[in-house]
Amino acid sequence: MPRVKVKRNNPSLDMTPMVDLFFLLVTFFMLTATAREEEVVIVDTPSSVSEIKLPDANVITLTVDKNDRVFFGVDGQQTKKALLDKIASKYGVSFNEKESKTFSLLSNFGVPVNQLKSYLAMDGTQRKNVNQPGIPLDSTNNQLRDWILETRKLNQKVVIAIKGDVDVSYSTVQKVIETLQDQKVNRFNLVTDMEARPKSL
């Protein structure tokens, strides 16, 4: 009786469809990706059951980190350039074209106006390592108020989002909210993480 021959399959398989799929995915991710914005500070946001999403554009982000520093950020390069001009004329400082360009590329910052020029003159790595003091928002020197006010003048559609750290003391947040309320901004957003809504009460 002859031995039963095991049919040997060729182990190399056709990978073309797999490659096709992979490149399709790569293309998809490349096109949909919005690179994660570089954060000046790492903020651990509290979680909530709210399911409202933050809009993509026209958002002022006020980041409050756990050392009670406030950072200001707005989207739109044109807005930022125009905003810097307004602030510059208000505070009697001037910025050259290069500094204005640098400013328009910043996602957010936390330096007082008088330090802004030297901050913008730094190069990327230096800027990353410098310790930003935060934007002053005392009642005597409330620069945050001006930043928000000028942005709102430039862009009426702007939405204000507060991104606070879990551990920041309420008094700082209160100051930020008061700054907003002074300008009759009574509706704003708090950036939170996702949390499951409890099933039963």
Partner 1 sequence: MAEIQEKASSGKGGKKRAKKHSTKIDMTPMVDLAALLITFFMLTTTFSKPQTMEINMPVKEDNPENQIPVKASNAMTIILGEDDKVFYYFGLGAPEENPEVVETDYSAAGIRKVLVSPRVKSNPKMTVMIKPLETSRYKNMVDILDELRITDTKKFALVDITDTDKQLVKTKLGQ
Instruction: Write down the residue that tokens 């409890």 correspond to.
Output: 198
Q: Closest approach of Cβ 139 to partner 1, in Å?
A: 15
| CA distances for 9 relative to 6, 13, 19, angstroms | 9, 10, 22
For partner 1, the closer CB: 82 or 110: 110
Q: Is 72 helix (H, G, I), strand (E, B) or coil?
A: strand
Residue closer to partner 1, measured from CB, 2 or 92: 2
> How deeply is 68 buried, as exposed, middle or buried, from its count of CB atoms within 10 A (0-12, 13-18, 19+)?
middle
The least distance separating partner 1 from the CB of residue 68, rounded to whole angstroms, comes to 10
Contacts of 41 (CB under 8 A, 6+ apart): 63, 65, 69, 71, 110
Q: Least Å distance between CB 184 and partner 1? A: 8
Q: What are phi and psi of 38, to 5 degrees?
A: -75, 125
Q: Which is nearer to partner 1, 16 or 140 (CB)?
A: 16
Residues that bind partner 1 (CB under 8 A): 12, 15-16, 18-19, 22-23, 25-26, 29-30, 32-37, 45-54, 56, 64, 161, 163-174, 177, 180-181, 184, 186-195, 197-198, 201
Three-state SS at 46: coil
Four-CA torsion 99, 101, 104, 108, nearest 10 degrees: -40
Nearer to partner 1, 120 or 180 (CB): 180
Name the maximum alpha-carbon separation found in the chain: 104
Q: At its nearest, how many Å lie between partner 1 and the CB of residue 40?
A: 16
- The least distance separating partner 1 from the CB of residue 178, rounded to whole angstroms, comes to 9
Q: Which is nearer to partner 1, 34 or 125 (CB)?
A: 34
